[in-house]
Amino acid sequence: MERVEQIKGKLIVSCQALENEPLHSSFIMGRMARAAKEGGASGIRANTKADIVEIKKNVDLPVIGIVKKDYPDSKVYITPTMAEVDEAVDAGAEIIAVQATDDLRPNGKTLADFFTEVKKKYPKQFFMADCSTIDEARFADRLGFDFIGTTMVGYTQQSNNLKIADNDFEIIREILQSVKHPVIAEGNINTPEKARRVLDMGCYSVVVGSIITRPQLITRTFVDAIETKHI
């Protein structure tokens, strides 16, 4: 618990690069995590067993671990089955995040059944629920997830019209009022001011990813601004 408390009120940097991205490499993600630590990050979010292991060689920071995998019979892809949970546990992730949306998991398994199984197998492991709606956050809270995350807001069919920063983070405010477990803000938090704001609102921690660790996307924002033609 002591290591997990290191992220309270602090910045977590998501160091991820998918197979189709130029920085896809466990070695690079390890160095990215080191750079994040040098900048003052207090935690890292990482994808795949290999990346988590490499990151832990480079930094002594608590890690939120995930394993993304697509299954043909499910829309759930963030740590969707016990196999991915096993990988994250083996890698030493202090917190394991799983997609906690309304969608059925592979083989038609519900979130409730899945969470019951993983807690039975790993009773001392901390788990974070990656949610996309207020109702999903409430349900995950009732199930007993240690942390409630806003990771999936705007990325699911049930949250298509939602944007995490709309109306001064209204969805985060409602989740904070609706759950008992700590809330970790994540998803399109792309300025220092937004990160500060969600912590001031009462979030336990804030995760920032692409705007720090995906240079191709950062570059695109500059190029788009330069190429925009003023009428």
The string of pLDDT tens digits covering residues 24-35 is: 999 999 999 999
Neighbours of 209 (CB within 10 A): 20
Class of domain 4-227: alpha beta
Cα–chain center distance at 112: 20
pLDDT attached to residue 217: 94
Number of H helices, E strands in the chain: 9, 8
Query: How many Cβ atoms are within 10 Å of 90's Cβ, its own excluded?
Result: 12
pTM given for the model: 0.95
Are 180 and 201 spatial neighbours (Cβ–Cβ below 8 Å)?
no
Dump pLDDT digits (tens) for 10-69: 999 999 999 999 999 999 999 999 999 999 999 999 999 999 999 999 999 999 999 999
- The candidate with the shortest Cα–Cα distance to 135, out of 116, 119, 152, 121, is 152
Task: Name the one residue in this structure whose structure tokens are 């220092």.
Answer: 192
DSSP codes, 107-168? GGB-HHHHHHHHHHH-TT-EEEEE-SSHHHHHHHHHHT-SEEE-TTTTSSGGGTT--TTHHH
